Amino acid sequence: MRLLQNTYKESNPGLFKWGNRTGEVFAMGKRGGENMILEEILKNRASFEEKIRKLIGRPVLLIELDMFALPCGCSGITANMRGLEVDDLDVFEPQILPLVKDMAESLGVKPTVTFARLVPGSSIVASLNWRTLCLRCYPEFARGTGKMPRPDLYMLLFERRK
């Protein structure tokens, strides 16, 4: 196994430097610069992770950044996180919200709701979510009140309809 790892590192040296995780990315058979959406997501993922780390002052990992479209009509962004806790959201919410809005804008998402999904029964943040709600899902979120309308959700922002 070690031999395979070393061989891979020798073939792809740029991927194993801490500062160059988004180097040359090949996705869906396209090479260097042809997949602008993927490049934009990778750039935003790295930037958001770095800003959150500096803000919180400890290791926080954004292990996966996804854009999604659900069958109901909702769409948005999910950032699967490790190392972030509800206490961090309480303390740093005013600083985190502009970062979230900037990323949503740069990826072309206009979220109706921004929330953190928690690991059940804990204060650990599993993911941050920016979602543009469809007509069917809006009432489910609108019914809730306060920062934690459900035990597994921590609301950062909810734009109520007029």
Backbone angles phi, psi at 86, to 5 degrees: -60, -40
Query: CA-CA distance, 4 to 31, in Å (whole number)?
Result: 24
CA 70 to chain centre: 17
Q: 3-state class of 39 per DSSP?
A: helix
Backbone angles phi, psi at 112, to 5 degrees: -90, -30
Q: What is the pLDDT of residues 65-120, one digit of tens each?
A: 999 999 999 999 999 999 999 999 999 999 999 999 999 999 889 999 999 999 99
Residues 94, 114, 21, 124, CA torsion sign:
positive
DSSP state of 13: G
pTM to 2 decimal places:
0.75
